[in-house]
Amino acid sequence: MTYWSVLRRQHVFRVLFGSWVGRLAMAMAAVAIPLALRDAGADYVFIGLVSGAFALSSAIGSPVIGRIVDRVGQVRVLVPTGLLAAIGFVTIALAPANHAVVLIGAVLAGALTPPLEPCLRVLWPGLVAEDELEKAYAVDSAAQELVFVFGPLVVSLCLAVFAPVSALWAQALLTLAGVATFATAAPARRWAPEKTEHRHWLGPLRHRGLTILLLAPVGTGVAIGTLNVLVVSYAERFEVFGGAPMLLALNAFAALAGALIYGMIRWTIQPRTRIVSFAAGLLVGYGMLATVPTPLPMAGLMLLTGFFLAPMLAALFGLISDLAPRGTVTEAFAWLVTLFAAGTSLGAAVVGPVLDRGELHLAAAHAGAGALFCLAVLGAGYRLFVPAGQPVAAD
């Protein structure tokens, strides 16, 4: 069974592409907003404040919006959030020198980020056959890696052809295009919330195993956030062909390859065991970063860390879907987005001061610590990662 068998399924390419385009706009934010503000004369203190406001509002808003989707459906949430998020980017673009307006636009765009990512993952079981789900999640994971490859490239194209503020207009257009493509697709329009007699105020977090499982990617996010900043400092100290972007490109390429290989395997090992195994592989790669090797071995570590990341996420998607209580699946995936992003932000924030002191080895060790946290959490909750009613089978 090939990936073509998944992509040729009715509606699959449309919802995948729509989700990817909409997510591309959000992936551009970390680069586009600071560049537009800097071009308008903003200092780095304000740029940091705006970036933090965008990230924090997105982290808070995502689970809330996910819960609303679980209550009222996808289209009724995607359309208004897409419009308002686009207005947020346009607001910044129209008045990049007005601090109050910029902050309002950043909070609006962040808090009302269209939940395309969790909405897509909720649809997969209804879009493909059961034996194709692993491939579908692998395609999803690969698409996510491509988002972070192409996002900065779109910003670079805007800078080369127009002014930095044009990237914000591009984000608004991509947001609207992605939401329009996804929300008008038949699977999104006909998706209906599951009816449940009682809705717990904790939503999906009332499942203890799922809560622990969702905490693990925080550590992975810390490792990735650390790596994103670390490679910039590394490239300044070592002669690296292509600099930091080349190292990150190798990491993304390996993640893409890992996702595709993962989806081609017919797995007999339980998802929870797969996730722990991939997390162990990440720990090996990120742990070895502390040695701060020369460029050639460093390139190898970029490939190693990337290779295990996407398969772990693909297996994670399936297990979250299985563990989430009825009527809470969208919110569960929204929590994954929030906690992963929180870890990434934490890793970047913590490693910055360490690199300012010139402690490259200690900074690299932070990435290993994040990967260790992920593996430790997965190990602690391993026995709880079994869907209700499913017998615990030996691997």
pTM confidence score = 0.84
The span from the CA of 314 to the CA of 309, in Å, is: 9
Q: How many CB atoms lie within 10 A of CB 349?
A: 16
Is 203-384 in the same CATH topology as 3-190? yes
Name the CATH topology of 3-190.
Growth Hormone; Chain: A; (1.20.1250)
From the list 278, 275, 309, the residue with the least C-alpha distance to 382 is 275
Helical spans, DSSP H, in 265-328: 271-288, 295-323
Q: Give residue 389's identity as a one-letter amino acid code.
A: G
One pLDDT digit (tens) per residue for the chain, 395 residues: 577 788 889 999 999 999 999 999 888 887 888 888 988 888 878 887 888 888 889 889 999 999 999 999 999 999 999 999 999 999 999 999 999 999 999 999 999 999 999 999 999 999 998 888 888 998 888 888 888 778 878 888 888 888 889 999 999 999 999 999 999 999 999 998 877 656 777 878 888 999 999 999 999 999 998 888 888 788 888 888 877 778 888 888 898 899 889 988 888 899 999 999 999 999 999 999 999 999 999 999 999 999 999 899 999 998 998 999 888 999 999 999 899 988 888 888 888 888 888 888 998 999 999 999 999 999 999 999 987 655 444 44
Name the CATH topology of 203-384.
Growth Hormone; Chain: A; (1.20.1250)
The span from the CA of 244 to the CA of 233, in Å, is: 8
**Taking the domains of the chain in order of start, what are their residue ranges?**
3-190, 203-384
